[in-house]
Each structure stands twice: as C-alpha cells, then as structure tokens.
Amino acid sequence: MIQSREELLREFLNHLRVVRGMAGNTVQSYRYDLTHFSGYLATEQVSFEEVSQATILDYFGALREKGDTARTTSRYLAAIRCFYRYLLQEHVIAVDPTSNLESPRQEKHLPRILSVKEVDLLLAQPKSGTIAGLRDRAMLELMYAAGMRVSEVVGLNTEHLNLERGFVRCLGKGSKERIIPVGEIAVQCNREYLNRGWVKLRKNTWEKAIYLNLHGKRLTRQGFWKILKEYAKRGGIPKEITPHVLRHSFATHLLENGADLRVVQELLGHADVTTTQIYTHLSQRKLREVYERAHPRA
C-alpha cells in the first residue's frame, strides 16, 4: 500500500531525531526542504514512491527557472538523497532515484569578514549602563573570543562557562562537544553581566540559560541576529553583518596572526580541515593586498 507523502515524511523525520540523534535545527532544515519537494510532487500528482531520476531533474529545472542558486539546489538534493536512502533501507522503494545524481557545481565564495577595527567598533556599541547592554557586550565578546556559532552561544547554560579558568564548553553540530579558551576581556564582560545583569533578568530559579531576553527566557537566534544588526547600524559599519561573520572574522584574524590551521580547526569544531582552509584564502588575499600597496614594482 502506498503511504501518503505526509506519513512517509513524518516517519523519516522521526528516524532522524530518534535513531540518528540529529539536532532539532538540522531536522527542521530537512523538514523544510522535503516539504518544498513534496509540494512540487503534489502539483505533478506523483507520490514519493513513484519518483524517478527524471522527476528530480525536472524539479531542479523548475528551481533554476525560479532563480535558485546551485548552492540551494545542492541543499535540496542532499535532503532528497538522504530521504531516499532511508526509503530504500526501509524497503519502501526498490531503486534509489538519487543514486546517479551529481550535485551541481557551486561557485566558491570567500566568507565575509570584519577587520579588527570594525570588530572593535562593533563591540564598543553596547552600553554597560543598561542590563541589555551588559548582556549584549558579554555575548558578542564571547562569540568573537571563541568563534562560536549563534546556536551555540544562545544555547549556553551557566555550567558551560567557567570564568575562573577561562574556557567555555559548547555542543556543536552532531552534539560534538569542544572546549574553547576565552580571553580576559570576554571573561570580564561575562562576569559583570552575570553579577549585575543576569540576576535581574532571571525570573525563575530553575532557569539555566546564560543569555536571557527581557522576559527572562532564553534568547533566540532571531533575537541575537536583531541585536547584532542594530549594533552594526549604530556603529556605522556598512558591511552586511550576520552572526556567522563574527565566526569568520575570529578564524581569519587568528590565522593572520600566526595561529596553526589545525588549532583553528579544533576551535571551530570542523570535522575536516579542508573546511577550515577557506580562511587561509582570506589571509593570502590580505597578504597580496599589502604586497601590492607596499612593493614599488607590484
């Protein structure tokens, strides 16, 4: 009996969550991408079990016509491929329609970063005279000091931050734990926030989240993004700034100042060093710019 698309999708997402132990954000990404694909199949009146390689190629053609990039298409393909491997494993289908599909080639883009002066300007915007300012300075300093992802920062609990010894313990992708040293400025800002701001924001004694909104609840990723955007605007920084730009800046500034690539890989929590190597391109580009400005025959 052919199951409905909704049933198959629900079972797959449950498999990711329970059996494979994927993080909630990752499961939500799969849900979004596969719901999009399911919507296309609904218009074509095709079930998941009836999908062929030609169906998927037609879907990608529709994405390209709509203006989606190769990066977006690759993301959809990754979700679809994972889903059909699951269906094959569960004997829902006999042939995997994604088995011979190649991911579209993506143009490599260097990540956006801030200069050291721009980081200093950004971090100077929160005012320590307010509770929100204490919180914002503390978490922005920590993000830049430790190169953490926004989900890792807002997910921190009090037991994860050791200010006496100067390190933070965070859970990255795939629930992989890493220990990251924290500089003295970030330590001081977080100590001041916990002593003067957190105790006032905290409404419930059981609340363990470090960074709280004004209602005393854990700050969300969206809340963090809005705060960052507002401070960039206040500082007159013309670049488009996202939370990940601070992470990119952290890695690039370390490499520019002589840090070992493998050390930066460990600090960022990258499983493969090739992911970290993108930052060496940024360092090399800056080296080229300095050379061309300084050398008389460049």
Residue positions annotated with a catalytic role: 149, 173, 244, 247, 270, 279
Nearest CA among 43, 49, 36 for reference residue 4: 49
Q: How many residues does the chain have?
A: 298
* Residues 197, 224: Cα–Cα separation, whole Å: 17
* Residues 133, 127: Cα–Cα separation, whole Å: 5
Nearest CA among 267, 259, 23 for reference residue 143: 267
**90: CB partners within 8 A, 6+ apart:** none
